[in-house]
Amino acid sequence: MDEYLLIESQGPWGGPGADRFVADATRLRRAGHRVALFLVENGTSAAFTGADEALRELLEAGGQVWVDAFSTTHRAFAPDRLLPGARLVDMDEVAGKLLEPGVRGVWH
Amino acid sequence: MDRRLPRADVLLAIMGPPHISDMVTSAVRLAQALLERGATVHIWTCGHATGLTSAALGDSKPRNVVNWSYDYPSGAALAAELLDAFPDRLSWYSCRFCTEERGSAPHIARIKQRPPFKFTEHLDAVDSALFLGVC
């Protein structure tokens, strides 16, 4: 079983790539891999405003959804509107995950 | 002279245009977080991202008309500050071709220019690589 740190920076309004990236995360999770999806920059918008359905599927499959606290503050997103199951994190936690042996990072 | 690259834990390859998003901010935040955890980091800039460390930027950005007295550091100054803080664990490389094509030279001190066909050596020198801005 591999472990992935997938970093989504564009979000659902940045084009169709974000949805496909999240769908890839869900496929990896359903294939038995450990997956943490980190939403950063405009990617954080997916975790608010009604929430992206693809993120719910990832959470239901057992994946983790991390949301960059700095980016959400920068964009004035209210933390109480965060998608249930998603978690605010800081960059130190992301760095720690990336440094764990065997973790593969991908940035979109 | 020994031209072998130092090993590093992570390579952050900033390939995309630097000013159309928060990409560079995120890259520098991640680099700082990695370095503060004791990791070794390589940064590689390509395309217009080579201009981030152009010496022509000076130490400060042009004045902000709504905050006239505040000194906003330039990208080059921020890069120099990060290199000063972690001199033994951060290496910053810039693509020579892109640097020349975009007029980014000269760079500030400690920015190492490398030809693009050597990029694979940089991938071989790290445990993990992230490409930013290519898709």
Residues of A with CB under 8 A from a CB of B: 7, 9-10, 17, 40-42, 70-71, 74, 90-92, 94-96, 98-99, 103-108
Domain that holds residue A44: 3-107
Q: How far apart are CA A27 and CA A43, in angstroms?
A: 19
- Among residues A19, A39, A51, A53, the alpha carbon closest in space to that of A89 is found at A39
Name the pTM for this structure: 0.94
pLDDT of residue A37: 97
pLDDT at B1: 45
Residues of chain B scoring pLDDT < 50: 1
Tell me the CB-side half-sphere exposure of residue B77, using CA atoms within 13 A.
9
Between CA B15 and CA B131 the distance in angstroms is 7
pLDDT value at position A19?
87
Domains (range + CATH), chain B: 8-61+71-132 (3.40.1260.10)
| Confidence at residue B54, expressed as pLDDT on a 0 to 100 scale | 97
The token pair at A62 is 């057992």
Provide the domain count of chain A: 1
Chain A residues touching residue B13 (CB < 8 angstroms) = none
Q: Does any CB of chain A come closer than 8 Å to the CB of residue B37?
A: yes
| Residues A76/A55, Cβ–Cβ less than 8 Å | no
B81 touches chain A (CB under 8 A): no
Alpha-carbon distance B75 to B59, whole Å?
8
The whole-angstrom separation of Cα A70 and Cα A79 is 11
Q: Is the pLDDT of residue A51 over 90?
A: no
Distance CA A64, CA A56 (A): 10
CATH number of the domain that A85 lies in? Answer: 3.40.1260.10
Query: pLDDT by residue (tens digit) across B51-83?
Result: 999 999 999 999 999 999 999 999 999 999 999
Average pLDDT of the residues of chain A: 93
Question: What is residue B87's DSSP assignment?
Answer: T
Q: Which amino acid is at A32?
A: G
Q: Could you give the ipTM of this predicted complex?
A: 0.93
| Residues of B whose CB is below 8 A from A90 | 33
Nearest to B9 by CA among B131, B118, B129: B129
Which residues of chain A lie closer than 8 angstroms to B10, CB-CB?
Answer: 98-99
Q: How many angstroms separate the CA atoms of A49 and B118, rounded? A: 45
